[in-house]
Structure 1
Amino acid sequence: MNKKVLVIDDDKELLWLFETILNQEQIQTVTYHSGIPLAEIIAEEPDLVLLDVNIIGYEKNGVDICTEIKASENHSSLPVLLVSGESDLHALARCCGADDFIAKPFNIDYLMDKVKKLLT
């Protein structure tokens, strides 16, 4: 699979896990330990953004970042998969326009099913 996933999460262990899992599936992975501006996300040219909702140490959370992506005239079709331990993740995903969501802790096979679905 010749795809690229941009992962944004403030948990370094989870970043390592995401990268390991995705690389095993031959998916190029770029990770960020903090939130990044929309321009940097676009510059990476990802096929999917895997985005934590709560990003400590950044002025915007994952919902804000997702909302920016989906409001972008030229990049609104970029798939976003929210990942969080939040209790009402479905409502958060709906309000920011995320394409899908997965709750922490997650099953690796379930995560990969969602990732592959969004990459096709």
Structure 2
Amino acid sequence: MKKIVLIEDDSAIRDVFSLILDPDRYKLFAYSSGKVILENQVVVPDIFMLDKNIAGTDGLDLCRFIKASDIYNNTPVIILSASPNIGELAEMAGADASIAKPFTLQSLRETIDKFTSQ
């Protein structure tokens, strides 16, 4: 079973993830704040999914922290955002991929599968 850590301060989007991810394939750990990562309080997942605009923490800064961490640095990071230039910003922060909001369920599943199907 693949573990996904989602950092998203919008409860509706957290709910979408819990509804669309097959519970037989994925274990979702959803948090409203990146504090759990900054304090190394999460088990290393198979993938991190970070909202760019998280209350109290910028998702791009959180991505940089993950990529510089001895604990999490080998874990793929996907940035979620409604920002028009999110692809470029995510790449500059070291993210492995980005998904523009609003997203389709198909594009979300395809992106997750790309990093969890190994």
Name the TM-score, length of structure 1 as normaliser. Answer: 0.89
CA distance in 2, matches of 1:98, 1:92: 9
The two structures, once aligned, show a CA RMSD in angstroms of 1.4
SS in 2 for 1:87: coil
Cα offsets for 1:80-115 (capped at 9, x unmatched): 010000111011111110000000000101110110
Report the structure, 1 or 2, having the larger helix content.
Answer: 1
Identity, % of aligned positions: 35
CA distance in 2, matches of 1:23, 1:88: 30
SS in 1 for 2:19: helix
CA distance in 2, matches of 1:50, 1:25: 19
* Change in CA separation of 1:24 and 1:108 when aligned onto 2, cut-off 3 Å: farther
CA distance in 1, matches of 2:105, 2:87: 19
1:68 aligns with 2:65: yes
- CA contact 1:48–1:79 (8 Å) conserved in 2: yes
For 2:32, the equivalent position in structure 1 comes to: 33
Aligned AA (2:6): V
For 1:117, the equivalent position in structure 2 comes to: 114
- CA contact 1:62–1:82 (8 Å) conserved in 2: yes
- CA contact 1:23–1:29 (8 Å) conserved in 2: no
CA distance in 1, matches of 2:23, 2:72: 27
1:99 aligns with 2:96: yes
4+ residue runs of structure 1 moved beyond 4 angstroms?
A: none
Aligned AA (2:103): F
Structure 2 unpaired stretches of 5+:
none
Aligned AA (1:7): L
CA distance in 2, matches of 1:75, 1:10: 21
1:74 offset after TM fit, Å? 4.1
Structure 1 unpaired stretches of 5+:
none
Aligned length: 115
Name the TM-score, length of structure 2 as normaliser. Answer: 0.90
* Change in CA separation of 1:25 and 1:108 when aligned onto 2, cut-off 3 Å: farther
